[in-house]
Structure 1
Amino acid sequence: MNRPRSTCLAVALVATILFQPGARAQVTGAQVRDAIADAVRHLKARQQPDGSWRSRDRYEHGYTCLATLALLLAGEAPTSPPMARALNVIAHAPDEYTYVVSLKIMALAQADPEKYKEDIERSARWLMRAQDESGLWSYQLNPVNYDHSNSQFALLGLNAAAQAGVKVPAGVWQAARRRVLTTQNSDGGWSYTFRGSSYGSMTAAGVSDLLILGGAVVSPVERGVRNGVAPGCGRYREDKPLLNGLRWLGREFSAIQNPGHGRSNLHYWLYAVERCGILSGLQMLGRHDWYREGAAKLVSDQRADGGWGTIENTCFSIMFLAKGRKPLLVQKLQWSADDDWNPDRNDLEHLLDRIGDKLGEPMSWQSVPFDAPLERWLAAPLLYMQGHKFPEWTPNQREKVRQYVEQGGTLFLEACCGREDFRNGAEAFLAETFPLTPLHELDSGHPVYHAYQDVAPAGLMGVDVGCRTSIIYSPFDLSCHWEQANIPLLGERAFDLGLNIAAFATGRRPLRDRLDLVKVAEREDINEPPPPGDPLVLAQVEYHGDWQPDPHALAHFAEYLNEQAGLRVAASARATRLTPEELPRAPFLYMTGHYAFELSGKERAALAAHLRRGGFLFADACCGRREFDASFRAMLRQVAPQGELRRLEPTHPIFSGSPGFRIESVGYRAAALAENPNLSRPELWGLETDGRLAVVYSPYGLGCGLDGHACYNCRGILEADARRMATNVVLYALTR
């Protein structure tokens, strides 16, 4: 690709300055999906039989190019009949106006850059000829004046052409950058033409231009990797104009008007903001979550017919909603006030370029400040921390990291350039924060080396929290290879490892919509009183061993029971010891674990008495671990020597859904199917006391499904079926 490398320098320069928490606009992913679907129907209904959309004024094919691009970005297949007709019109459209030619290139490149390469190249050459001596563009060839609106589209078009393989001379980029810089106002913003007052859409255009052009002047100093160290790593030339432009946007942002321009061109302004947000990797502009606030405004303003008034407003709205909602794969932890947190500023941009849609769909990244709420950390399944040195965290800060992984997040730590200061600090932090689960090397059979493709072991280390390796640690450098993106052999291996780490963290499952708010599960508290009204309190057996491998599984299950089963269940589970004092408060007990265990004689006696009095015990072998299975069966033989643990018949009420769900088959996780590919029947075992079913046990793991996290080595049941089975057990216990 012959253009300056797009840089995410903005993240390093402004994340500290721009982030300030503010109130969140209320909009959901489902509302946005519905809005896009309605708008797509609206646009399709206005398409002419020949595939075009009627344009106003002199831009004969302008609406056709704009509508086609919007529909493609919304997910319409380029081979569908409406899109095929539209693309045929576009491919034959003459190159006459900057707006139209730029949109033509973007639409054709979005549809099929190989098929339309000649058309894209021809139109790109027209844009190069249309660049005036100042370095910018106007409406047509041989302009008298330039403006930043036409210039923004010209650069977006040339950027799309370059990504499609068209060679754009360096002089084109350099001339444009020089002129964009000289036309920036003293307040950091831009106007439509030189000397005007700054306003929103033109300032966003200027920032977008600099982000596209940034690599021509703003580039990392580091070059190559020698003995695991990149000379010049972490050194960049500061781009003050870009910083000032982003400051202007953070200071003036509004989702209800085009700042400095009233309500004029509101939808165009939001589209320009989306370009800045995507190119920079910034979620926040000042106090504002630009996508959430913009999406809330557009959803509330959408008309009954699915549009936003004019065709161009509808298209800009679709593009904002569709492009801004790519799910978050990874967030980079901003752990310092200076740039120490980000020695490689383009590493994630380049890694996600390589990942593309290999994990099911294109994904995005962003930075997240350390002091952001835990809910924001959990917005992505992977939290990435790198550096040359490791910070000295307070106990509260260490606790926040621990909570992140306990809540299901995966932390990836990387010693940039293999720096000893970072390695020593990271290893001390892990030993202090996770003392019961020591750091260990991940062997060749670990799923991280096979999650997407087979990769040779590379010295990665990990910490297991509960059922899974929740922390992956690389004591050697990967990020400099991602940053430079052009180092043969070792660089390719680094990208392969990055893809596998991402696949491992996600479990190769669809990611949550980025607008869906994350709810932090409440921690269990043995002394917490239940809410009024006597709701069911789920009690978890606390014994000597790993009694709580998934700390929030019951909290997530309680939420499911409240929302899906219509039960009133306390949000927090109760940790319960097997004593005569605590068991009477726990009519429904849950027990799980990975490893072998042995109850004391007093604990066995208390449990036996509890079951005889009408108590109910529900248990599973977490991850289907055979060590727990053997210990649990042995324990029951001691607690109820007259009883026998037997497999429940398929006709049992727990499976027939009396009450509850009818369960004839369930989905098993890959580790279970690897042993027995024919597994499909649900399997539960039961033990009766005095003619009453008092114990229900699953030798296959249910806890990972109740918790909702990915678990590669789990011999268990998939999430939806695990929750249905557990719900039926609860309903059976309550109604018998």
Structure 2
Amino acid sequence: MSRLRRAAAAALMLSFLVLPVLRGTGEDAGGARVTWKQVERYIETLKRALLAMQEPDGSLSYPFLPFYRPGMTALAGYALLEAGVPPDDPAIRAMETYCRMSLPDRYSVYSASFCALFLAKADVQRNRDVLERIAAYLVREQHSNGMWSYSAQGRDRRGISESGDNSNTQFAVLALKVLHDAGIEAPRRVWERVRKHYERTQNSDGGWGYADWHRQSSYCAMTAAAVASLWIIREVLEGKKKHCTEVKRDPVFEAGVRYLDEHFSPERSLISQWHTYFLYAMERAGMITARRYFGGYDWYRAGAAELVRRQSVSDPASAAFALLFLAEGKTPLLVQKLERPGGDWDNDHYDLENLTRFYSEATGRKVTWQLARVRGDASDLLEAPVLLISGRLALDLTLMERAALKEYLLNGGSILALPASDSAEFDRSFRRLMAEMFPDSPLMPLPKDHVIYRYHFKIPEADRPLIYTISQGCTMNILYVPRGRYTCRWTTEDHSGHAFEMGVNMLMFLAGDQKLKNRVDPVKFVPLAEMKERRNVRPPRGAVVIGQIKHSGQWRPLKHDITNLMRKLRDDAGVTVGLYPEPVDAEKDDLYAYPILYITGLYDFRLSDEACRRIREFVERGGFLFGDPACGRKEFDKGFRKFIARVFPGRKLEKIPIEHSIYTIGYDVRKVDFRPTVRSSLPDLSEPELEGVKVGNRYGVVYSRFNFSCGLDGMPAPICWGYAPEDSVKIAVNIILYALNN
């Protein structure tokens, strides 16, 4: 028996064993690490619990303090809205009606503050009359020392005289900020008083306690509340409209952040019965500062794990605070800003905050951002598909940071580099860094008619910046814009001049069709060292190994496509595989060493007559050939069709009917999604299009004019003409399973 027949027989036996499997990865139901599925389930549990607590009049009661029924109702309604319940939901409308009807004669600072948050979130215009009364009440109730207490009559109307506390104060500040954003502004003196209060009462360790009359020593809940409040106060008093100016450092705020860094830990901070209240304060501090870590802990992941583990909330306040905390994880990360020693990385403080807000409004997809620093490898950087690198000074990265950046790029990340204030010093250092990291791929300018200038917004030609990129195959995952002062312009709230529109185009171009990651599940990536080691690993005995045909049209433009496909077959279908394709010279090499051959490329190509004859013989004797155009390039597509005409004279590719088993042999791919490049010109296309050459009663050649290898490769490929990444993988898996089964 020939080697081809032995390989084909082994593949046939193997395929019968693995075809029914295609299993997914299991979910970790226990242990310390929480999964996003568990978080989503608990979010739904909390939503149902709050709705079940609702009374016929629309309210929710607070068993400890019945006086706070309007506040508890508003807090629950606000949490439900943040978790995605629509404002026109009957339960939400009933809560809204109750708050509107109950507030005038049942004010307290807590209730007024929560009602401001809820009613503004539900509908600012419909509730403006009540919101204006709440604003007047909060201004009137502020103590001369800048704080707020439970009510003018004393705590809980029990006659206890006190001068205010940091708990009531934080919610009053939060409510006044929401009212400020709605155009209902408090006098400047209100904000100045509360800022002076925080500056005056900060403890020597950098933290804050509850009040000067109770629990004065610092603890994380009150410190997180103070940090968030100070940020809000600075925004209101100083605004976010400063253009291209250095950020004024706030030593009080920074000392508060240091306190959280030094004192936060899940073991110590989450043991209180008020742990959900504390987590909501930490969530605001974390989101406002865009920090992922406090005290070396991922605050969201740690808090989510603890909430999912406990699942014990018996009152509306605890349930609402837990829901507010967890709901923040539903907003995916689109971009991170690289944090480096010193302050040069953050010259334009509100750039990404303003840009991601504009992006969310422009695209209808809410996204957010955070800071990232290199902590040994690329894992933290890979939390988002785009990394912003900016600065005025020279970019001086350590060897560890450079290795992590390269690891990030090779695992599918993208870099957007923008010098602050068009710094020439940063420009020289970034170009030098790219030359050192990619010596064979220079920075090249994009043409002014490139798709990036019309990717979402059409940018007028006069406003199109010069953009440099490093192109590697179908991948453009580095964009460098040396001129245009973009980070400066994003710090303003002036959306004229196309700076924000160009920013959206660049982020969408780099992120492409990548599915944005949630805040809980760990990043999966291949370390640089492992990439090098794997190249030297010999495939297991009897493994299916794919041979990739060499030719003159840039035969291997992608690095990870076949490897990722074989890994998918190994992990999900149980196939014994060789992970790496082996280069094949079709004129000289032994084609029968491989049951399957693959061909792709960027450009037109021509193989010798002898190579064409040998490939025809290979297919006719039971071998299998499949291919696609890299990036969906038409030059290769034309070349492939000419190649098939030479391999099989008088034959041509025929469309494989949608009823054929190749579309259902592993995954059902009779309906698929395409990349934006295809959808823009073929919006009604929803079925895959595979073509083939029949040999007897089987297809010995299968080809797709729509690219699937970009999706297999996993790298950003915004110019790729082909299937969406997830469907690319499924189609390629089906092609291989069909080959093994035939």
TM-score (norm 2): 0.85
The aligned residue for residue 179 of structure 2 is: 161
1:717 Cα deviation from its structure 2 partner: 2.2
The aligned residue for residue 450 of structure 2 is: 446
Encode CA deviations 1:261-301: one digit per residue, 9 max, x unaligned: x5241111111101100111000112100000100110111
How many residue pairs are counted as aligned between the two chains? Answer: 692
Residues 1:145 and 2:163 are matched in the alignment: yes
Report which stretch shifted further, 357-366 or 60-69.
Answer: 357-366
The aligned residue for residue 515 of structure 1 is: 520
TM-score (norm 1): 0.86
The aligned residue for residue 588 of structure 1 is: 596
- % of aligned pairs identical? 33
Residues 1:404 and 2:413 are matched in the alignment: no
Residues 1:557 and 2:565 are matched in the alignment: yes
Report which stretch shifted further, 463-472 or 724-733.
Answer: 463-472
Encode CA deviations 1:146-173: one digit per residue, 9 max, x unaligned: 1111111111111111111111111111
Larger relative contact order, structure 1 or 2 (CA cutoff 8 Å, min sep 6) = 2
Q: Where does the alignment leave 5 or more consecutive residues of structure 1 unmatched?
A: 1-23, 225-229
1:201-600 paired onto structure 2 within 5 Å: 201-215=221-235, 224=243, 230=244, 233=245, 235-258=246-269, 262-303=271-312, 308-334=313-339, 336-393=340-397, 397-398=401-402, 400-457=404-461, 458-463=464-469, 464-482=471-489, 484-486=491-493, 489-490=496-497, 493-507=498-512, 511-521=516-526, 523=531, 527-529=535-537, 534-541=542-549, 543=551, 546-562=554-570, 564=572, 566-570=573-577, 572-578=579-585, 585-599=593-607
User: Does the 8 A contact of 1:539 with 1:576 survive in 2?
Assistant: yes
1:43 Cα deviation from its structure 2 partner: 1.0
Mapped to 2, the partners of 1:718 and 1:252 lie a distance apart of 45
The aligned residue for residue 199 of structure 1 is: 219
Mapped to 1, the partners of 2:670 and 2:108 lie a distance apart of 63
Report which stretch shifted further, 501-510 or 39-48.
Answer: 501-510
User: Does the 8 A contact of 1:329 with 1:381 survive in 2?
Assistant: yes
The aligned residue for residue 227 of structure 1 is: none
User: Does the 8 A contact of 1:655 with 1:662 survive in 2?
Assistant: no
For residues 628 and 524 of structure 1, do their structure 2 counterparts lie closer, same or farther at Cα, with a shift above 3 Å needed? farther
1:666-685 paired onto structure 2 within 5 Å: 666-672=672-678, 679-685=685-691
Query: Residue type matched to 2:598 in 1?
Result: Y
For residues 329 and 578 of structure 1, do their structure 2 counterparts lie closer, same or farther at Cα, with a shift above 3 Å needed? same
Encode CA deviations 1:496-552: one digit per residue, 9 max, x unaligned: 211222222333675232223221257487853356574544454455553333322
1:694 Cα deviation from its structure 2 partner: 3.2
Encode CA deviations 1:245-271: one digit per residue, 9 max, x unaligned: 112212221334537xx5241111111
Q: Secondary structure, in 3 states, of the residue corresponding to 2:68?
A: coil
Two-structure CA RMSD over aligned residues (Å): 3.1
User: Does the 8 A contact of 1:622 with 1:700 survive in 2?
Assistant: no
Encode CA deviations 1:541-586: one digit per residue, 9 max, x unaligned: 455553333322334334443455x232548333423376675553
Mapped to 2, the partners of 1:625 and 1:609 lie a distance apart of 28
Q: Secondary structure, in 3 states, of the residue corresponding to 2:479?
A: strand
For residues 597 and 167 of structure 1, do their structure 2 counterparts lie closer, same or farther at Cα, with a shift above 3 Å needed? same
Encode CA deviations 1:292-335: one digit per residue, 9 max, x unaligned: 010011011115xxxx222211111101100244210100112x
User: Does the 8 A contact of 1:405 with 1:470 survive in 2?
Assistant: yes
Query: Residue type matched to 1:61 in 2?
Result: P
For residues 451 and 91 of structure 1, do their structure 2 counterparts lie closer, same or farther at Cα, with a shift above 3 Å needed? farther
User: Does the 8 A contact of 1:665 with 1:681 survive in 2?
Assistant: yes
Out of 701, 707, 730, the position equivalent to 2:736 is 730
The aligned residue for residue 3 of structure 2 is: none
The aligned residue for residue 660 of structure 1 is: 666
Q: Secondary structure, in 3 states, of the residue corresponding to 1:59?
A: helix
For residues 649 and 617 of structure 1, do their structure 2 counterparts lie closer, same or farther at Cα, with a shift above 3 Å needed? closer
Q: Secondary structure, in 3 states, of the residue corresponding to 2:266?
A: coil
For residues 115 and 525 of structure 1, do their structure 2 counterparts lie closer, same or farther at Cα, with a shift above 3 Å needed? same
Q: Where does the alignment leave 5 or more consecutive residues of structure 2 unmatched?
A: 1-30, 155-161
Report which stretch shifted further, 612-621 or 144-153.
Answer: 612-621
Mapped to 1, the partners of 2:495 and 2:320 lie a distance apart of 41
The aligned residue for residue 139 of structure 2 is: 128
Residues 1:630 and 2:643 are matched in the alignment: no
Query: Residue type matched to 1:192 in 2?
Result: Y
User: Does the 8 A contact of 1:359 with 1:508 survive in 2?
Assistant: no
User: Does the 8 A contact of 2:631 with 2:719 survive in 1?
Assistant: yes
Mapped to 1, the partners of 2:608 and 2:628 lie a distance apart of 20
Mapped to 2, the partners of 1:603 and 1:41 lie a distance apart of 66
Mapped to 1, the partners of 2:614 and 2:378 lie a distance apart of 39
Report which stretch shifted further, 376-385 or 397-406.
Answer: 397-406
User: Does the 8 A contact of 1:267 with 1:316 survive in 2?
Assistant: yes
Q: Secondary structure, in 3 states, of the residue corresponding to 2:387?
A: strand
User: Does the 8 A contact of 2:641 with 2:653 survive in 1?
Assistant: no
User: Does the 8 A contact of 1:385 with 1:412 survive in 2?
Assistant: yes
For residues 187 and 662 of structure 1, do their structure 2 counterparts lie closer, same or farther at Cα, with a shift above 3 Å needed? closer
User: Does the 8 A contact of 1:65 with 1:103 survive in 2?
Assistant: yes
1:349 Cα deviation from its structure 2 partner: 1.5
Mapped to 1, the partners of 2:680 and 2:164 lie a distance apart of 64
For residues 124 and 569 of structure 1, do their structure 2 counterparts lie closer, same or farther at Cα, with a shift above 3 Å needed? farther
For residues 397 and 574 of structure 1, do their structure 2 counterparts lie closer, same or farther at Cα, with a shift above 3 Å needed? farther
Query: Residue type matched to 1:288 in 2?
Result: Y
User: Does the 8 A contact of 1:450 with 1:500 survive in 2?
Assistant: yes
Q: Secondary structure, in 3 states, of the residue corresponding to 1:716?
A: coil
1:84 Cα deviation from its structure 2 partner: 0.4
1:241 Cα deviation from its structure 2 partner: 1.9
Encode CA deviations 1:217-260: one digit per residue, 9 max, x unaligned: 7889x954xxxxx4xx4x3332222222112212221334537x
The aligned residue for residue 104 of structure 1 is: 115
User: Does the 8 A contact of 1:351 with 1:482 survive in 2?
Assistant: no
